[in-house]
Structure 1
């Protein structure tokens, strides 16, 4: 379990692969067999670093919340980590709150990003204010109640008509509840809030997104109980040149349930950026010429 020392903190991270494409991701925790670690496997073969965010696990635990806010702090930490690697530019990908970190890097340090890949992580709707999502507030308020935690996780997963998938989810929920209840109190109380809290309305948020000037891939789940489809579409309409892929049959935990679907889309997107994507079938066969 390697550790990276930056100016005022220690960050725990894991490293996967050794390809030329450097991909960074940050979050409170990562499932080792899920996205984004899967980006390191063939045929994608990226060089992936997953960084445990300050405040969690083996990374440094500040005595109080950062004055600039958690998302800005985590964004700065990712850039400091890249500095230690000697990576001037990198692809950043993040899931949920990890996606929020990426949006803050894109807004504050766009020169560092080759691209942003946001997975169920577009900035939340402004309904209910900007402090946090209703689900996150409920999780914090009832953090020691396993039934409430399980209920919120089911909402996050979203509905499914597949009995086998539903049964597998219940097994994952039981493990997640156990892990959540075992977390130290200081970790369960962290509330990063919604990205770009200065944007008080959805229109103000769209204005912030229109200022993003990096290549952005939005991977969204239409059955997501946290990030609404409207949030994903707002970002897709607002960010110049953005690409969006919306999965009708997925929920907020697509990163652990269907990582291979995400990896395929990321590979196509990065190949397009690198100018090595295959041409459309019609162009390959000469159809229509």
Structure 2
């Protein structure tokens, strides 16, 4: 189990491929069997790292509330990880909260990024609620074991529903079964301290849409946003708003995909569209 000591914490990570075309993803969890970073490494010559962010085992668990600083801290952890690995510039990709980390990288550390591939990117709408509804469901369920156990089983099955649908596929069926089991087990085994973690929405200091848009206008990292037409958490309307604000950005919406299906169901399309985006902008030279 690869663990890297980074300053005062330890980060679990998985590595795919080799070479200097680095792409980093940071999430609370990504399955080890079917994911687009692995495909980018195995099929397109990227050197991929997927980091388990602080707060989620086997990375260091966090008992303190970092308030409005969670995404800034996670973004700094990505840069510290890259430094420890001897990586100067890298592509970053993330889904949902992982994309939130990417937006903070774009603002806080743009000099480190060759490009940003943002899946279900948002950022969340500034609607007066500091924390998104899906996150609050998890936090509320984690307040007792009686509510957590059925919630975790349900959430694990929901997050793994794409893998269940393709378990009989002659090419990826075995990997899909392993991915489904790993996803469900992650939710069942999640410690309460992780389930109760509340990072708020990205850019928590922005209280209105107007304030958020002004922050997004200052991002100049080449950005590809990948979204699902049926996503109720990071819907197409939010990403169109972001597209209008972020210079040198591109948006692709995949028909019929919701928030959890998106990066799994369209894994192969992600790889093709990411490579095309990089080629269009000369980012692979």
TM-score (norm: length of structure 1): 0.83
Cα distance, 1:132 vs. partner? Answer: 1.3
Tell me what 1:185 maps to. Answer: 192
1-structure distance, mates of 2:192, 2:141: 12
Local SS of the residue matching 1:25: strand
Tell me what 2:249 maps to. Answer: 242
CA contact (8 A) 2:156 2:186 kept: no
Tell me what 1:97 maps to. Answer: 97
CA offsets per residue over residues 209-242 of structure 1, 9 Å max, x none? 1111111111111111211211111111100111
1-structure distance, mates of 2:160, 2:16: 27
The 1:34–1:156 alpha-carbon spacing in structure 2 relative to 1, beyond 3 Å, is: closer
Q: Which runs of 4+ in 1 moved over 2 A?
A: 65-68, 143-158, 171-179, 272-277
Tell me what 1:223 maps to. Answer: 230
Tell me what 1:23 maps to. Answer: 23
Tell me what 1:205 maps to. Answer: 212
Local SS of the residue matching 2:135: helix
CA offsets per residue over residues 119-165 of structure 1, 9 Å max, x none? 01221011242x2111210121023345555777899899x9xxx68
Cα distance, 1:274 vs. partner? Answer: 2.5
The 1:275–1:137 alpha-carbon spacing in structure 2 relative to 1, beyond 3 Å, is: closer
CA contact (8 A) 2:96 2:121 kept: yes
Tell me what 1:7 maps to. Answer: 7
Tell me what 1:283 maps to. Answer: none
119-128 or 105-114, which deviates more: 119-128
CA contact (8 A) 1:157 1:223 kept: no
The 1:137–1:93 alpha-carbon spacing in structure 2 relative to 1, beyond 3 Å, is: same
Q: CA RMSD in A?
A: 2.8
2-structure distance, mates of 1:173, 1:18: 27
246-255 or 110-119, which deviates more: 246-255
Local SS of the residue matching 1:13: strand
The 1:245–1:203 alpha-carbon spacing in structure 2 relative to 1, beyond 3 Å, is: same
What are the within-5 Å matches in structure 2 for residues 29-178 of structure 1? 29-32=29-32, 33-42=34-43, 44-66=44-66, 69-129=69-129, 131-143=130-142, 144-145=147-148, 148=151, 176=183
2-structure distance, mates of 1:53, 1:275: 27
Cα distance, 1:272 vs. partner? Answer: 2.2
196-205 or 234-243, which deviates more: 196-205
Tell me what 2:172 maps to. Answer: none
1-structure distance, mates of 2:244, 2:23: 25
The 1:203–1:237 alpha-carbon spacing in structure 2 relative to 1, beyond 3 Å, is: same
CA contact (8 A) 2:224 2:250 kept: yes
Cα distance, 1:269 vs. partner? Answer: 1.2
113-122 or 92-101, which deviates more: 113-122
Cα distance, 1:116 vs. partner? Answer: 0.9
The answer to whether structure 1 residue 269 and structure 2 residue 268 are counterparts is no
Tell me what 1:258 maps to. Answer: 266
TM-score (norm: length of structure 2): 0.84
1-structure distance, mates of 2:223, 2:9: 29
Aligned length: 269
